[in-house]
Amino acid sequence: MNEGERPQVDHRHVAEQINAATNFTMYAVFAERRGAEGERAGSPPGDVAELLAALERIEGLQTRGWYDISGFRADADLLVWWFAPTTDALQRAYRTLWEWGGGRLAPVWSNIGVHRAAEFNRGHVPAFLAGDAPKEFLCVYPFVRGRDWYLLPDAERGKLLREHGMAARDYGDVLANTVASFALGDYEWLLAFEADDLVRIVDLMRELRATEARRHVIEETPFFTGPRRPAEELLLRIAR
């Protein structure tokens, strides 16, 4: 596919329906626990099929993907992306997986966000809510704006955000998912990029560094990146 042929994502036809609903999302990151000699820690986990069936029974819960993030970081191995109309469903999923692990999974990082209509472009909605299929690779990170950002005149903030959006215009093949997390954790926003080519995410992130809006970001770590994998594959690795 040539650069000029890259698909462009347009969610305006479903945006108002999405904006009218309440949808929460959770990114849950775990590490596989091992002893000093590299041996498995904890008790053997439960049956993989039973775990997946238990998650299926949680009302409203949807799974965007299971991701192998081992090696991208030294402190984490597994990321699970869930979304649901309630935080209760997300918490139940989190506890179900953690308890299934029998002590072999250690929580590393977990955050919940909620979709809110974009301030200046109501047609900008998360790809996972618009029905776009998940891509092969995922990059998740939080960010916090500087205190001055929210005191800027609307016209100035709108201009900066439009410029920021234009920097991504050549990356229509990269799906963007931004949700608000004010008061839900330590961050203001959670962002997830999805792409079939990991380098496209790398290049997009570099492009976004060269925008004026970057001057108003004071925190945007940690990053969690890795490929999407079948749940059974990752869970059997933990269980063996």
- What is the model's pTM? 0.91
The DSSP result for 59-117, as a single string, is TT-EEEEEEE-BTTBSS--EEEEEEESSHHHHHHHHHHHHHHTTTSEEEEEEEEEE---
Residue 235, SS3 per DSSP: helix
Give the three-state DSSP class for 189: strand
What are the structure tokens assigned to 126, written together? 């998360």
DSSP state of 185: S
Domain range annotation of the chain: 3-239
Q: Where are the alpha helices (DSSP H) in 5-65?
A: 12-20, 48-56
- Going by C-alpha positions, the residue among 70, 138, 80, 71 that lies closest to residue 109 is 80
Considering only CA atoms, which of 15, 6, 8 is closest in space to residue 130? 15
Name the binding residues for Fe-coproporphyrin III.
Answer: 164
141 is catalytic: yes
CATH class of 3-239: alpha beta
For residue 219, what pLDDT band results from cuts at 50, 70 and 90? very high
Specify whether the CB–CB gap between 97 and 105 falls below 8 A: yes
Asked if residue 218 lies in contact with residue 161, where contact means CB atoms within 8 angstroms, the answer is no
CB 80 within 8 A of CB 63: yes
C-alpha neighbours within 13 Å on the C-beta side of residue 130: 19
Distance between CA atoms of residues 214 and 4, nearest Å:
27
Q: Convert the pLDDT of each residue in 7-28 to its tens digit.
A: 556 576 789 899 999 999 999 9
pLDDT tens digits, one per residue of 52-106: 999 999 999 999 999 999 999 999 999 999 999 999 999 999 999 999 998 999 9
Per residue in 198-217, pLDDT (tens digit) is 999 999 999 999 999 999 99
Given the residues 27, 94, 141, 171, the one annotated as active site: 141
Cα dihedral 169, 170, 174, 178, rounded to 10, equals -20
Cis peptide bond upstream of 222, omega within 30: yes
pLDDT digits (tens, 9 = 90+) for 116-156: 998 877 778 999 999 999 999 999 999 999 999 999 999 99
